[in-house]
Chains A and B, each alone.
Chain A
Amino acid sequence: MSRIVVITSGKGGVGKTTTSAAIATGLAQEGHKTAVVDFDVGLRNLDLIMGCERRVVYDFVNVINGDANLRQALIKDKRTENLYILPASQTRDKDALTQEGVQAVLDELSKEFDYIICDSPAGIERGALMAAYFADEAIVVTNPEVSSVRDSDRMLGILSSKTRRAEQGEDPLPAHLLITRYSADRVEKGEMLSVEDVQEILSIGMLGVIPESQAVLNASNAGMPVVLDKESDAGQAYRDAVARFLGEERPHRFITTQKKGIFGRLFRG
């Protein structure tokens, strides 16, 4: 059975697109046929992070408008088996995503894919609601700071009231928390909220903690999902998150400061 998963946050720039690319790639690597859909009409970032921007012919809006069929618009990932990208349009306006249109595309994707990952735009307006409306499951991306957590809380409220499942009176969709850009050092200095603080406020299950990492920037410059960088901390943290998403239990890593060795302690004086 196909699952529609929305990657959402409320606040902008917290790492939704990075996460969409990583989770979709991770799921595909595990053998699940996965499509990742860019709902950020007008901005179109996902294709850059996936490194397929030069192969975009048709986009999501083209499919909705009937200018192209889904098969023509889906881009097959070059590095990862089982992975397809449906890019957003850079030129159209946001109203191009109609509810009926989105539903038709998701229905068609559902016939073929195990997972459909929806990369939501920022905010709590129409675009974000559209990305979340048909979801079976949500990953809420939060940075460890007060305004981001507040927005995520708001988004969780919306997920529990404004999605198709909520409107049809079904159980609220399961929502998982993913904390990104986490810096244990800054938490220790009191400059950021801790994992416990964030979890206490949002009180939903924790999918993972992704550290603040240069590897993310390097990967996005290279047009490669960071999860493919197996040596990197962020890449490993995303792999763990994918494993947990698929039901495996794994301990959380990267949430405490690096233990200083004896030399570190000595030289700090």
Chain B
Amino acid sequence: MSANPSPIQPIEFKGRMILVSILKLQPAEPAVLQEALEARMQEAPDLMRDMPVVVDMDAMAGTSAQDLLSVLETVRQHGLKLIGLLHSEASAPLADRTGLPLIVLGPRAGSEVPLRPAPPPAAESTPETPAEPAPAAPAPHTPSLVVNQPVRSGQQVYARGGDLIITGAVSAGAEVLADGHIHVYGPLRGKALAGVRGLESARIFCRRLDAELVSIAGHYRIAEDILDSERGDNRLITLSGETIKISEI
């Protein structure tokens, strides 16, 4: 213990990003919803355990509060961490009963343009897509997601559970995310978020760095904080303590 400790702030607000999945419910019989949820959880129970989720009930006006509550309960039972409800007609009356906050999202350019499904079916960025038949046995490791087309403005790609490899450019206005590392073999002009579920050793590699934002395990730097001298060809982005480091490869 140092004799002369610098005053420690008892609290501190930090700007960190966390990845939250949005679980969108579509009108269906409660039993069908429960079944779909269970089937989905079976696919990757480890990945989904403790996954923070916000539930979107926008399409559920007309479903009884009781049914909605029981769906939420199923979500909880499977180990997903419910952290809120998107504000909607159906969710508003549930806020008090569930103790969950109502969350209002600003209009977002992104997710309405799902990428054409890239080869490996592990790619799965929109929770509302109907569950594909579950693979027979869990793969020994999660394969990387390889994207062979440019990721353009308004598009978003997420490699869940693994690395993301993009052979072309990531445009300004595009967003690429991975639980592991991100490799971009073209210019990176959009946002890249590696280690989005907390992997601090995740890295971003890019042929050219001209990004709007880079993030590792929730720590991030926006374009304004990236020096001109740090931009350029063949860059490696790492997390060192709480600092995002940019170096030449």
Answer yes or no: A153 CB below 8 A from chain B CBs.
yes
Answer yes or no: B143 CB below 8 A from chain A CBs.
no
**8 A-B contact pairs sorted by A residue (CB < 8 Å):** A153-B153, A153-B172, A157-B152, A157-B153, A161-B113, A201-B169, A201-B171, A203-B168
Interface size class of A (residues with CB under 8 A): 10 to 19
Answer yes or no: B154 CB below 8 A from chain A CBs.
yes
Answer yes or no: A232 CB below 8 A from chain B CBs.
no
The one of A160, A166, A169 that contacts B152, using a Cβ cutoff of 8 Å: A160
Answer yes or no: A162 CB below 8 A from chain B CBs.
yes
The one of B116, B117, B168, B173 that contacts A153, using a Cβ cutoff of 8 Å: B173
Residues of chain B contacted by A32 (CB below 8 angstroms): none
**Looking at chain A's contact residues, is the secondary structure mostly helix, strand, loop, or mixed?**
helix
Residues of chain A contacted by B169 (CB below 8 angstroms): 201, 203
Chain A contact residues, CB within 8 Å of chain B: 124, 150-151, 153-154, 156-158, 160-162, 166, 169, 172, 201, 203
CB-based contact A157/B155 at 8 Å: yes
Instruction: Please name the 9 residue pairs, one residue from A and one from B, whose CB atoms are nearest each other, closest first.
Output: A157-B152, A154-B153, A153-B153, A154-B154, A157-B155, A153-B152, A153-B171, A161-B116, A166-B116
CB-based contact B116/A172 at 8 Å: yes
Answer yes or no: B114 CB below 8 A from chain A CBs.
yes
CB-based contact A157/B113 at 8 Å: yes
Cα distance A245–B114 in the bound complex, in angstroms: 30
Residues of chain B contacted by A150 (CB below 8 angstroms): 153, 171-173
Answer yes or no: B33 CB below 8 A from chain A CBs.
no
CB-based contact A203/B150 at 8 Å: yes
Cα distance A166–B115 in the bound complex, in angstroms: 9
Residue on A with the closest CB to B114? A161
Residues of chain B contacted by A154 (CB below 8 angstroms): 113, 152-154, 173
